[in-house]
């Protein structure tokens, strides 16, 4: 994973900086960006043969010809544009350009104006969830505690020493390899210490 120091000077020069960095990466590439980084990666990755996916994390996804400022001001309640203050700095070519900052006295109002997450009315999945990393023992079993009682889950000696991810939702247990392959999917029997493998 590479964390890119976005120059934050101008969209086209920032995208060119990122694209130059992508040229030096071998193999398939997934690019992730947050906020303005979405604008930058969208332009930088456009047509790049090794970029396989873009991940937008609360970021700008621009239409062809659209600017970040236009998108930011497109929706009612957005006051970001009027709160930005220019600070002159030197651009990549030595010319003076404006760096933009949110005026400190307006920051709280700008943040408060953003839409907040609210209840959707869709019920959440109930129950108790756990996820843990573990290793299958030499006998080919995993140990799992449920209601203060240890249970041993049979997986087979062929998996001894294998690192796994154990995903538990109440009595439903899934054991996956670190590559994501499902090794066992079972409903835990709370009355049995040993959970044998199903007969095939």
Q: Does residue 120 carry a pLDDT above 90?
A: no
Which range is least confidently modeled, 29-38, 40-49, 83-92? Answer: 83-92
Q: Give bridge partners of residue 130 from the DSSP assignment.
A: 168
Beta strands in the chain (DSSP E): 29-35, 51-59, 84-90, 96-102, 129-135, 141-146, 149-154, 163-169, 172-177, 182-187, 194-195
Q: Does residue 147 carry a pLDDT above 90?
A: no
Q: Does residue 159 carry a pLDDT above 90?
A: yes
CATH code of residue 36: 3.40.50.1820
pLDDT of residue 64: 80
Number of domains in the chain: 2
How far is Cα 22 from Cα 13, in angstroms, rounded to an integer? 14
Domain end residue (candidates: 80, 113, 146) = 113
| Distance, first Cα to last Cα, the chain | 42
**Calculated CA dihedral for residues 148, 154, 158, 164, nearest 10 degrees:** -40
> Is 139 part of a structural domain of the chain?
yes
> Is 147 part of a structural domain of the chain?
yes
- Domain of 140? 129-195
Q: Residue 116 — pLDDT band, cuts 50, 70, 90?
A: low
> Is 119 part of a structural domain of the chain?
no
> Is 4 part of a structural domain of the chain?
no
How far is Cα 137 from Cα 158, in angstroms, rounded to an integer? 11
Per-chain mean pLDDT for the chain: 86
> Is 28 part of a structural domain of the chain?
yes
Among 128, 126, 132, 129, smallest CA distance to 176 is for 132
Q: Residue 22 — pLDDT band, cuts 50, 70, 90?
A: very high
Is residue 37 domain-shared with residue 109, that is, in the same domain?
A: yes
How far is Cα 154 from Cα 139, in angstroms, rounded to an integer? 8
Domain end residue (candidates: 113, 144, 172) = 113
Q: Does residue 100 carry a pLDDT above 70?
A: yes
> Is 3 part of a structural domain of the chain?
no
Is residue 97 domain-shared with residue 62, that is, in the same domain?
A: yes
Q: Does residue 92 carry a pLDDT above 80?
A: no
Is residue 107 domain-shared with residue 146, that is, in the same domain?
A: no
Three-class DSSP category at 12: helix
Q: Does residue 77 carry a pLDDT above 80?
A: no
Helix (H) or strand (E) holding 14: helix 11-23
pLDDT of residue 23: 93
Phi, psi of 124 (to 5 degrees): -80, 155
Which has the higher per-residue pLDDT, 97 or 121? 97
- The model scores a pTM over 0.85: no
Q: Does residue 186 carry a pLDDT above 90?
A: yes
Three-class DSSP category at 39: helix
> Is 149 part of a structural domain of the chain?
yes
Is residue 58 domain-shared with residue 98, that is, in the same domain?
A: yes
Q: Kindly tell me the sign of the dihedral angle through the C-alpha atoms of 110, 3, 37, 99.
A: positive
């Amino acid at each position: 994973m590479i964390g890119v120091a976005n120059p934050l000077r101008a969209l086209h020069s920032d995208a060119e900086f990122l694209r130059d960095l992508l040229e030096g990466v071998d193999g398939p590439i997934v690019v992730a960006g947050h906020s303005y980084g979405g604008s930058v990666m969208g332009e930088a990755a456009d047509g790049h043969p090794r970029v396989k996916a873009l991940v937008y994390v609360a970021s700008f996804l621009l239409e062809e010809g659209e600017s970040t400022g236009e998108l930011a001001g497109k929706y009612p309640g957005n006051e970001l544009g009027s709160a930005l203050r220019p600070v002159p700095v030197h651009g990549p070519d030595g010319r003076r350009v404006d760096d933009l900052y949110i005026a400190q006295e307006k920051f709280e109002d700008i943040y408060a104006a953003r839409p907040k997450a609210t209840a959707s009315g869709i019920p959440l999945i109930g129950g108790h969830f756990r996820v843990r990393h573990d290793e299958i023992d030499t006998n080919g079993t995993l140990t799992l505690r449920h209601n203060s009682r240890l249970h041993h889950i049979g997986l087979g000696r062929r998996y001894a020493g294998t690192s796994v991810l154990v995903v538990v939702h109440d009595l439903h247990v899934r054991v996956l390899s670190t590559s994501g392959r499902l090794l066992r999917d079972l409903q835990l029997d709370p009355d049995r210490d040993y959970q044998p493998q199903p007969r095939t």
